[in-house]
């Protein structure tokens, strides 16, 4: 493989606006319940009384994730029709709708819940890294829509050089599939 494209999520900057999720949903004309980009919120902490006041230790942060275009994608391995495939030149994992039978084997295998069933078409869908945009020299819509520029894409090796190698935070599955993902964690995240 010539290179592996992937995402960097600067979780420490994300404000949970879901602009990336909305832009993706709009670009792919996704129906209610279908999301290729998912923004989740994590909150917690505690407080205690301190004299006449309250001392708080609360937190809230967001995680924006889509398909991680894994180095070892289990979705590709489990697809019975070979509709799910990984491009050799850039590592993007795609679905050939002509071969997809909508069996959901890829969705069941994916630890990140990336593939989703389009119930009207009876075909699977997921983030395609906006490959059509990349071919035109444009950013994926999630990257371009982020008002604080917390989402980046590019060659994963270069993203790791610039942002680090963290690809898992508390609440995420073990990265056994080798996700093409870098996370710059929020200060309150357990790694």
Contacts of 29 (CB under 8 A, 6+ apart): none
pLDDT of residue 108: 97
pLDDT of residue 170: 86
75: DSSP letter:
H
| 60 or 10, higher pLDDT | 10
pLDDT of residue 147: 97
What 3-state class would DSSP assign to 155?
strand
The predicted-structure confidence for 69-92, as pLDDT tens digits, reads as follows: 999 999 999 999 999 999 999 999
The predicted-structure confidence for 19-56, as pLDDT tens digits, reads as follows: 999 999 999 999 988 999 999 999 988 888 888 888 88
Q: Is 165 exposed, middle or buried (0-12, 13-18, 19+ CB in 10 A)?
A: exposed
> 102, 117 in Cβ contact below 8 A?
yes
Q: Whole-structure pTM over 0.75, yes or no?
A: yes
pLDDT of residue 57: 85
Architecture of the domain delimited by 5-44+56-184: 2-Layer Sandwich (3.30)
Query: Is the predicted pLDDT of residue 1 greater than 60, yes or no?
Result: no
pLDDT of residue 79: 98
What span, in angstroms and rounded, lies between the C-alpha atoms of 18 and 41?
11
The predicted-structure confidence for 106-159, as pLDDT tens digits, reads as follows: 999 999 999 999 988 999 999 999 999 999 999 999 999 999 999 999 999 999
List the chain domain ranges.
5-44+56-184
What span, in angstroms and rounded, lies between the C-alpha atoms of 19 and 111?
24
């Amino acid at each position: 493989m010539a290179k592996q494209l992937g995402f960097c999520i600067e979780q420490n900057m994300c404000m949970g606006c879901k602009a990336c999720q909305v832009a993706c949903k709009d670009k792919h004309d996704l129906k209610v319940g279908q999301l290729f980009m998912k923004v989740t919120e994590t909150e917690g902490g505690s407080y205690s009384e301190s004299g006449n006041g309250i001392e708080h230790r609360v937190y809230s942060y967001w995680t924006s994730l889509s398909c991680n275009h894994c180095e070892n994608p289990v979705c590709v391995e489990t697809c019975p029709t070979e509709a799910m495939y990984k491009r050799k030149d850039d590592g993007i994992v795609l679905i050939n709708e002509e071969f997809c039978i909508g069996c959901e084997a890829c969705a069941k295998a994916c630890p990140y819940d990336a593939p989703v069933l389009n119930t009207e078409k009876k075909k699977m869908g997921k983030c395609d890294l906006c490959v059509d945009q990349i071919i035109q020299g444009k950013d994926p819509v999630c990257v371009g829509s982020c008002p604080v520029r917390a989402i980046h894409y590019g060659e994963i090796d270069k993203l790791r050089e610039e942002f680090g190698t963290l690809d898992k935070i508390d609440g995420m599955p073990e990265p056994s599939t080798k996700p093409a993902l870098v996370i710059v964690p929020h200060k309150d995240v357990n790694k």
